[in-house]
Structure 1
């Protein structure tokens, strides 16, 4: 096999909209489950990534219940499990790049949470490392974002805008191809 599915940060904490704010794409978890089912049926490897925040106040901290994976992902027996505390899955407790290389894997399909954070960072790094990367955009989701930015003032983007921008940046920038779950499992 030269292709693997990378499932990023599908954790219960992201269901806490009081903490994260408004989200988009409620079909994300269903689509991730469909990808997992297709990969399992084909015998292709699945990599599961979990974000273990170093901040005790974060719902993603290992001591908090939100750190747990959602059911569809928790049920997977992954070929590799990566714990990380930064945005990229390539900077986890397992050397993902070395693991992929040792197995001759050159094609990655990436899904999970958050579209414009860990999914995008992992996809960009994978593209820079020479992998053929596809992001299953409808198997990702993110949250509205607001920040005070020097020179710009207060900048606000909706989750839908952030997903579209991530898709544009990844595809137009040559980091990854954007696909739908149906096109990958159909």
Structure 2
């Protein structure tokens, strides 16, 4: 797999509020943060662009509510902001897709000549999936690094529930099978990058 020299790493909603197990419930993939950090380090070492996306929730009481401690990026992300050799962008949003945030992500990527994006972050089947679908619709080559993200168990209609692992698998099948994105691993992506 070849990762383009200017591929953008889109790091979605890696915020402290997602550590509130009492609110979100059980999560999957305990290796997610380590894999995100490895990709961030590689992007910053190679001077590729990084987009940090923050969810500014407008719902009162949300762990991600604007101005709350949970709204802040997790420490391993915050410590890496501004440390790379390449361009960086901070996008804030209050909906699922990073393409509906401020500033305009699509305009920034196109203005920078970026055609390939790698999606990582939280949650797999929510903001990550929505951003990947929109990216595919907008014509980007979207790589969805499945082991560099996580999600939570979820209750749905009719008394149905799905575990985080089931949701992750369903998201991967929908995105990859539906050709919205290529579902890959952190190792795949790291092998496709090289120092510049």
Instruction: State the TM-score, normalizing by the size of structure 2.
Output: 0.91
Shift of 1:27: 0.7
1:7-45 Cα deviation digits (max 9, x unpaired) = 000001111111100100011111100000000011000
Distance 1:2 1:89 in 2: 19
Partner-residue secondary structure (3-state), 2:36? helix
User: 1:69-121: per-residue Cα shift (whole Å, max 9, x none)?
Assistant: 01121122261000000000000011000000001100000000000000000
Runs of 4+ in 1 over 3 A off after TM superposition: none
Kindly state the Cα deviation for residue 2 of structure 1 after the two structures are TM-superposed. Answer: 3.2
Aligned equivalents of 1:20, 1:13: Cα separation in 2: 9
Q: TM-score, normalised by structure 1?
A: 0.95
User: Structure 1 residue 23 and structure 2 residue 27: aligned?
Assistant: yes
Candidates 162, 165, 183, aligned match of 1:178: 183
* Equivalent of residue 83 in structure 1, options 92, 95, 113: 92
In the comparison of the two structures, how many residue pairs are matched? 182
**Conserved? CA contact 2:119–2:143, under 8 Å:** yes
- How far apart are residue 63 of structure 1 and its match? 2.0
Identify the residue that residue 68 of structure 1 maps to in structure 2: 72
CA distance in 1, matches of 2:37, 2:74: 10
Q: Where in structure 1 are there 5+ consecutive unaligned residues?
A: none
The reply to whether residue 161 of structure 1 matches residue 170 of structure 2 is no
